[in-house]
């Protein structure tokens, strides 16, 4: 419902998804209000009434991206039989997602706001939190592998988590620059070839 009780004349969820794609393709700073309203099929007053501000719209778009795209990439981390299998699938799903011809290439969380104010609540700080969350989820899966005996307690799981998160970030940038699925799969395979050295006692 609108603030005055009248139903909105547009589908808010569909408009948000279209806005997500604009931010994903252009980034927060480059995406203009004209870009957003044109893609969302609404006017500026309707955008502000529904979402409050461009920054709030971006926050919701990032949340949608995380739940829709990010979870698809990371779904096997907690469910794979071993941490190695989980990390390998994490990288393989990254390669598949970041080169999907039906969506912008690369990762919105990596590419969406590389510059700008990093104060609390800003687009840059929001995406930084999401990138650090990737490291946290990888580290948590590795910590479980230590508890279950897959990895030695002497393994520096923070270093391993940061390594694979960094590989994923690089895959996002090369995908935006035109890397193919096969090229990113080779990157993923090369990164997994380092598993033994990174996790040896």
Residue 25's pLDDT band (cuts 50, 70, 90)? very high
The token pair at 45 is: 């007053």
Q: Name the pLDDT band for 10 (thresholds 50, 70, 90).
A: confident
Report, at the CATH architecture level, how domain 67-199 is classified. Answer: Orthogonal Bundle (1.10)
Question: Nearest-5° angle of CA 191, CA 21, CA 6?
Answer: 145
Contact 85, 44 (CB under 8 A): no
Q: 173: exposed, middle or buried (C-beta count within 10 Å: 0-12, 13-18, 19+)?
A: middle
Digit-coded pLDDT (tens) for 32-41? 999 999 999 9
pLDDT per position as a tens digit, 68-92? 998 889 999 999 999 999 999 999 9
115 or 137, which is more confident: 137
pTM, to two decimals: 0.87
Nearest-angstrom CA–CA distance, 172 and 94: 8
pLDDT tens-digit map of 117-159: 666 678 888 888 888 999 999 999 999 999 999 999 999 999 9
Q: Over 88-122, what HEC string results?
A: HHHHHHHHHHHCCCCCCCCCHHHHCCCCCCCCCCC
pLDDT-derived band of residue 45, with 50, 70 and 90 as boundaries?
very high
Task: Give CA separation, 1 vs 12, 48, 59, 64, 139, in Å.
Answer: 10, 14, 21, 20, 42
> Which of these, 78, 99, 136, 19, lies nearest to 11 by C-alpha position?
19
CA dist., res. 180 & res. 100, Å (int): 10
Statement: residue 97 has pLDDT above 80: yes
Is the pLDDT score of 30 beyond 80? yes
Asked whether the predicted pLDDT for residue 115 surpasses 70, the reply is no
């Amino acid at each position: 419902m609108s603030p005055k009780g009248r139903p909105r004349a547009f589908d808010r969820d569909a408009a948000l998804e279209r806005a997500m794609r604009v931010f994903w393709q252009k980034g927060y700073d480059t995406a203009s209000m004209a870009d957003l309203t044109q893609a969302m099929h609404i006017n500026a007053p309707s955008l502000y009434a529904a979402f409050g501000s461009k920054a709030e719209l971006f926050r919701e778009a990032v949340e949608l991206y995380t739940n829709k795209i990010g979870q698809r990439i990371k779904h096997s981390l907690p469910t794979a039989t071993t941490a190695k299998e989980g990390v390998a699938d994490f990288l393989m799903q990254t390669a598949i997602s970041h080169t999907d011809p039906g969506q912008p290439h690369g990762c919105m969380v990596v590419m969406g706001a590389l510059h700008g104010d990093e104060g609390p609540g800003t687009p840059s700080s929001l995406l930084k939190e999401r990138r650090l969350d990737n490291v946290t989820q990888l580290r948590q899966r590795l910590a479980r592998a230590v508890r279950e005996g897959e990895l030695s307690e002497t393994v520096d799981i923070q270093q391993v988590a940061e390594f694979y998160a960094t590989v994923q970030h690089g895959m996002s940038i090369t995908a935006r620059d035109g890397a193919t699925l096969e090229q990113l799969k080779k990157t993923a395979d090369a990164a997994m070839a380092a598993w033994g050295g990174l996790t040896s006692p």
